[in-house]
Chain A
Amino acid sequence: MVMADRKFAPQDLDVLFAQACSEVPDLPPGLLARVLADADAELAARSRAAPAPRPVLRLGIMAELLALLGGWRAVSGLATATVAGVWIGFSGLSGLPDAATALFGMAATETLASVNLLPGDDVFALAMGLEAVE
């Protein structure tokens, strides 16, 4: 009976908690000043640690242009084509038939205009021959 009366009940604890919650400790001015000084020091340290402005803008544009054109391989292809175009422009078309002969085995008398791009009789005959075999 006596022990039961003296036992600390949950409601007694709640009273203690409520009282403790109502006691809001003052914020010591010295602590606030130290906290704010830390905040300022961090900002200053960050600005010191920040890298100096680098001349990355030009490189960045070049890199973007390179990527836009498809990378180094595509750009070197483009450069080759440009040089070839300039060369053809200066030297004229007189050299082309020879180049075509070398590459495709065309006769020197054939020109690009005389090349037959449509299937010829030989192809047609070959197709007919295949049908006959079937």
Chain B
Amino acid sequence: MAFDASSQASDEVLLVLYGNGDRAAAHVLALRFTPLALRVAARMLGDRAEAEDVAQEAMLRLWRVAPEWRQGEARVSTWLYRVVANLCTDRLRKRRGVGLDEIAEPEDGAPGVVERMIETDRAAALQSALDTLPERQRQAVVLRHLEGLTNPEIAAVMDIGVEAVESLTARGKRALAALLTGRREELGYGHG
């Protein structure tokens, strides 16, 4: 059976087809899920090269689990979020986070350039602040506010209760706000 990137086949169907030897199904799955894995890993690790390694490893595990995939037990995306989060946690435990002090200071320039740099700086500031959060808080914040998962979905990924998810995201947001306080003007928010 041939698929294209916009195939309407469900993730599970594609995974089962790949498990039965369908290469085309693997192509669609790779296009659907590699960006997800890369995005989450990059947010969790703050390092693009390492995130690529994690994304590749997570996808490899998806290929390996395909023949034994039990339909209806879990969503493919939830399973992959969990694998990526675990791989990132392993790597984070081997190294320390990067402090806010290491964020590059914006340079002077023309207004358009300054705005672009502010945007870049905001992204860098957010990433650096995320990097300093405890792993579980970071994971919950990334999944909730950057991946848009619901609290029950995050609970499934992290294997904890919904209340624990709410607590982690709330504490994570408070910590982020505290970390970014004092950089408000610098990041272009002004006095408003």
| Interface residues of A, Cβ cutoff 8 Å to B | 5-10, 12-13, 15-17, 19-21, 23-25, 27-28, 31-32, 34-36, 38-40, 42-43, 46-47
Contact = CB atoms under 8 A, between A and B. Distances in A.
Contacts of B52: 28, 31
Contact of B177 (A7, A21, A36, A46): A7
Nearest to A9: B177
B42 interface: yes
Given A25-B39, A39-B23, A31 B34 contact: yes
Contacts of A19: 119, 122-123
11 contacts: A8-B181, A13-B145, A19-B122, A25-B38, A27-B38, A35-B34, A35-B59, A39-B26, A39-B30, A40-B26, A43-B23
Q: Which 8 A-B pairs have the closest CB atoms?
A: A39-B26, A8-B177, A42-B63, A8-B180, A17-B145, A35-B59, A8-B181, A38-B60
Given A21-B148, A32-B30, 6 more contacts: A6-B182, A15-B189, A27-B31, A31-B34, A40-B26, A43-B23
Interface residues of B, number: 44
A36 B184 contact: no
Nearest to B181: A8
- State the main secondary structure of chain B at its contact with A: helix
Nearest to B29: A39
Interface of B: 18, 21, 23, 26-27, 29-31, 34-35, 38-39, 42-43, 48, 52, 55-56, 59-60, 63-64, 66-67, 119, 122-123, 125-126, 145-146, 148, 173, 176-178, 180-185, 189, 191
A26 to B, nearest CB: 9
Contact of A24 (B39, B55, B178): B39
A24 B63 CA distance: 24
A25 B42 contact: yes
A17 to B, nearest CB: 4
Contact of A38 (B56, B177, B184, B191): B56
B30 A8 contact: no
Contacts of B35: 24-25, 27
A38 B29 CA distance: 13
A27 B119 CA distance: 21
